Chain A
């Protein structure tokens, strides 16, 4: 495996620019979510230590920097999800003629979903619910 081959996973040669960027972002966001999955599984083990230990853990992850990181993570998830739904739908032959339009429709829907969740999380955080 040469160095050139090792970069094939982000190779957009022969692809439309927008489609190529969507492809690279899909992979990068996928890697971020994979990393988070293992961090999340590790963090959940705090629940095994009982209510008090978990409460202390929760007070840390509910601090503003962690909530900000959570909101950024939601953006990554919503991009991967919205673009992923587009890829699945296109597998059924739907939206293949207007790929660019389909992509932007999904991006707008993803953005709306992200803004909605961000608003809910931020308001419950500010409200101290």
Chain B
């Protein structure tokens, strides 16, 4: 008997595929994030240290991909839960999902560059 342990049966194939891809991304991105933020004590999350790190374009790219992956994975997971509840207005649910996802990503990227800008006050 094949056990149904995930939302594979509920989600659309493409949404499921991206859920898997972002899950793999998350292992790397969240892993690095946890190590950077917590494995070096408080030193690595001091204001100046964060600003220094965020000046690096590689870290900027890291956080942008991380933001997109985590937002998609988290909100699509929530969408899967709501779909499992038997919601009828799937189209409306999908529209809300994309609006919330895009707003979250825009806010988080704006926050990222806002923090970087504090290093160079006008």
What is the interface of chain A, defined by CB distance below 8 A to chain B?
1-2, 5-9, 11, 14-16, 19, 22-23, 26-27, 30-31, 33-34, 37-38, 41, 44-45, 47-48, 50-51, 54-55, 58, 62, 70, 74, 77, 81, 84-85, 87-88, 90-91, 99, 117, 120-121, 124-125, 127, 129
Contact = CB atoms under 8 A, between A and B. Distances in A.
B107 A41 contact: yes
Nearest to A28: B81
A41 B67 CA distance: 10
A19 B5 contact: yes
A54 B111 contact: no
Interface size class of B (residues with CB under 8 A): 35 or more
B39 A77 contact: no
B5 A22 contact: yes
Secondary structure at the A interface, as helix, strand, loop or mixed, is: helix
Contacts, number: 113
A37 B48 contact: no
Given A8-B86, A41-B104, A55-B47, A77 B30 contact: yes
Q: Which of A7, A87, A117 has the most CB of B within 10 A?
A: A87
